Structure 1
Amino acid sequence: MKKFSKRQILQSNLAQLFIRTLLKWQQDQCLEMGAALAYYVLFSLFPALLVILSIFSFFLGHDTDVYNQILKLAKEGLPYSAFIIIEDALIQMTKSSLGASIVGFSILFFSASHAFAFLSRSLDKIWQVQKIYPHQQNVITIISTYIQYRFFAFLLLLGSSGVFVLLILFDIANKIFINLLENVEETKHLVQAYENFWLGKVQAVHTFLILFLIVMIVFKFLPSTKIKWGDIWLGSLLTAIILFLLQKLVSNSFIVINITRQFQYYGVIGGVMVLLLWIYLTCEIFFLGSEFTYIYAQLFGSRRHQ
């Protein structure tokens, strides 16, 4: 009876959802894909920060609170050794000139577009998309297709960066709102209660919703196949939850702190190694969520009868 029950459980669709997700994650060589994607993301990170700082400086001036807000978000979501690397880079970026911003934008276009292009190819592999190319293509068509593909990938990056900018603006607006209330004598006790109890919870919920939105956008539009929203919502939700828990684990776990201390013997390179490790774990979680979404679509979603 126990063997029968165990067999029934393993053969159920719910159990097969997780088992087949792990098996396909291994078959698609997601460990190797995550390492390659982490390499592209690492080279895209600092130019992206430079462009974000340049945009805010152009519209809001150099005396904005964007620098501190980016540092705050980085400190909450990164290990300490990796945070030091980001902090030093931001200090140098605030001193950069217009020429440096243009160079950073150019580097961002190529590196980030390559990152999203590789991510798109990886998701196509997960969704088993087979692209059919014509046997004969002239040079102009090849170049035009390449530019369009890279430009589309860059637009996705700008969309994701735009969501990140909204997160920064929310924190700035929240701080301004608190400062205004502090000037009113009757609301000082409410401000203190809000900062002590509700502020962290509101920011956590807002961060999670932004993260969930980014994952859904990438899962929906980046693969070269039509995917329905009903197929991706659960995978996006689980991916966002795991990424959010990873962020909290990194910022509050003594185990992670002890691990990062082992890299301090490598000096500056140790900080880069910690940052690359954090990016790699994020990529692996993202690919695992993509595999879950694909299997969910096959078992429960719109592709279950195919």
Structure 2
Amino acid sequence: MDRTPPRQRARDIGHWLPDRHTATRTARVVLAAVSAWLAHRAASKGAALSFYMLFSLAPVLVLVISIAGIFFGAEAARGEIFAQIDGLVGAQGAAAIQEILAATHRSGGGRLAAAIATGILFVGATSAFAELKGSLDEIWETPAPQGAGWQQLLRARLLSFSLVLVLAFMLLVSLIVNAALAVVDRFWGQMWTQSWFAPVADVLSTAFSFGVVTLLFAVIFKMLPNARIAWRDVVMGAIITALLFSVGKRLIGLYLGNSAVASSYGAAGSVVALMLWVYYSAQIFFFGAELTRQYALQFGSLRGQSISPPPDPRAAGPANR
């Protein structure tokens, strides 16, 4: 029996609870992130990113399917990608991506056309990530790197291409996990579905999907910006962003499914639905990046540094808009 005095027990419990000072700083982080999100014009950045993503999506998926197809076959990789996309953007967005990929595979030509298409594939696949890198550099308010322009351009493209490889690796891991679950279900059948471990496996599968999204955000936050960001700040920001994304994607799906925004565009409705999904998801991502920076300034590796106010977007030049 615990004979600790009630007042002492209250102090012990209170040690593990956030104090008033921590709660105040947390609220300050959120408010500062909202202010910086508005000042950095995240709405405009999301519009630009959705435009770039529309033209980069087919090259990115072609490269990812080609790399993952080496190990599992192109059809298996394509089926897994469409299953993941359908769960993210819904049937309309998945249909738009299928049409884009089908048009890409229908285009043919000789060796010269194939060589040109390969170059366009590389540039197109990295354009959206290059735009994302510029947005994150502005969010972290990093100075422009020194060096020749073509060197910085090449570095940005290679860095963006490395993220495409990361996406391919994550697709491989997802294929391996799903293949293992399919094998178990095929051999054990009804015994598997009625066993106690089946719901546990569903929970583990959901946790795995959340972990993959968190890892992707962590890699983007760590690799893309020119700023030096500690891993503890990156991991915390990635977890928060993944939580926001998990909730936000359901709300976005409900909005697109119950509104007539996409259907009012007729034949182009699926493409519009895809662009709207990218746009709203970009707002969540940029807000997560702002939270990551403010967390680093208030609690993380940048704690104690002076926090400069966000730049006034009206004073920015045309190149920064």
CA positional deviation for 1:90: 4.5
Aligned to 2:277: 278
Aligned to 1:77: 88
In structure 1, the gaps of 5 or more residues are 1-7, 135-140, 183-187
In structure 2, the gaps of 5 or more residues are 1-19, 306-321
Which of 23, 44, 56 aligns to 1:32? It is 44
- State the Cα RMSD in Å: 3.0
SS at match of 1:79: helix
Provide closer, same or farther for how the CA distance between residues 59 and 216 of structure 1 changes in structure 2, counting only shifts above 3 A: closer
1:110 and 2:109 matched = no
SS at match of 1:130: coil
1:257 and 2:257 matched = yes
1:86 and 2:97 matched = yes
Q: Is the 8 A contact 1:231 1:296 kept in 2?
A: yes
Q: Which sits farther off after the overlay, 192-201 or 233-242?
A: 192-201
Q: How does 1:125-274 map to 2 (within 5 A)?
A: 125-131=138-144, 133=146, 141-182=148-189, 188-193=190-195, 197-198=199-200, 200-250=202-252, 253=254, 255-259=255-259, 261-274=260-273
CA positional deviation for 1:9: 8.7
SS at match of 1:174: helix
Provide closer, same or farther for how the CA distance between residues 103 and 166 of structure 1 changes in structure 2, counting only shifts above 3 A: farther
CA positional deviation for 1:197: 3.6
TM-score (norm. length: structure 2): 0.77
Provide closer, same or farther for how the CA distance between residues 61 and 256 of structure 1 changes in structure 2, counting only shifts above 3 A: closer
CA positional deviation for 1:97: 6.7
Distance in 2 (alpha carbons) for counterparts of 1:180 and 1:97: 42
Aligned to 1:294: 293
Identity among equivalent positions (%) equals: 27
Provide closer, same or farther for how the CA distance between residues 246 and 97 of structure 1 changes in structure 2, counting only shifts above 3 A: farther
Which of 66, 71, 75 aligns to 2:77? It is 66
CA positional deviation for 1:76: 1.1
CA positional deviation for 1:240: 0.4
TM-score (norm. length: structure 1): 0.81
Q: Deviations over 1:99-133 (max 9, x none)?
A: 79866653332123222222222111111111253
Kindly tell me the number of residue pairs found equivalent between the two proteins: 284
Q: Is the 8 A contact 1:263 1:273 kept in 2?
A: yes
Distance in 2 (alpha carbons) for counterparts of 1:195 and 1:10: 40
Matched residue type, 1:15? A
Distance in 2 (alpha carbons) for counterparts of 1:277 and 1:295: 27
CA positional deviation for 1:180: 2.9
Distance in 1 (alpha carbons) for counterparts of 2:198 and 2:140: 46
Provide closer, same or farther for how the CA distance between residues 42 and 198 of structure 1 changes in structure 2, counting only shifts above 3 A: farther
Q: Is the 8 A contact 1:50 1:101 kept in 2?
A: no
CA positional deviation for 1:159: 1.5
Provide closer, same or farther for how the CA distance between residues 148 and 275 of structure 1 changes in structure 2, counting only shifts above 3 A: same
Distance in 2 (alpha carbons) for counterparts of 1:233 and 1:51: 27
Distance in 2 (alpha carbons) for counterparts of 1:149 and 1:157: 13
SS at match of 2:126: helix
Distance in 1 (alpha carbons) for counterparts of 2:166 and 2:68: 16
Distance in 2 (alpha carbons) for counterparts of 1:127 and 1:104: 35
SS at match of 1:224: coil
CA positional deviation for 1:98: 9.5
CA positional deviation for 1:296: 0.9
CA positional deviation for 1:167: 1.8
Provide closer, same or farther for how the CA distance between residues 181 and 267 of structure 1 changes in structure 2, counting only shifts above 3 A: same
